[in-house]
Amino acid sequence: MEDEKRVIAEGDVVSLEYTLRVDGEVVDTSEGGEPIEFIQGSGQIIPGLEKELYGMSLGDDKQVVVGPVDGYGELDPEAVMTFPKTDFPDNIPMQVGTELQLRDNQGRVYNARIVGIEGDEVRLDFNHPLAGKELTFDVKVVGLRAATDEELTHGHVHGPEGS
pLDDT band at 160 (very low <50, low <70, confident <90, very high): low
Question: Within a 13 Å sphere around the CA of 14, how many CA atoms are in the beta-carbon half?
Answer: 34
What does the pLDDT look like over 69-85, one tens digit per residue? 999 999 999 999 999 99
Helix (H, G, I), strand (E, B) or coil at 158: coil
Contacts of residue 106, Cβ cutoff 8 Å, sequence gap at least 6: none
Q: How far apart are CA 133 and CA 67, in angstroms?
A: 7
Characterize 62-96 residue by residue with b for buried, 16 or more Cβ atoms within 10 angstroms of its Cβ, and e for exposed. eebebebebbbbeeeeeeeeeeeeeebeeeeeeee
The model scores a pTM over 0.75: yes
What does the pLDDT look like over 107-149, one tens digit per residue? 999 999 999 999 999 999 999 999 999 999 999 999 999 988 8
Helix (H, G, I), strand (E, B) or coil at 41: coil
Domains and CATH numbers, the chain: 12-72+131-158 (3.10.50.40), 77-125 (2.40.10.330)
Q: What is the mean pLDDT of the chain?
A: 91
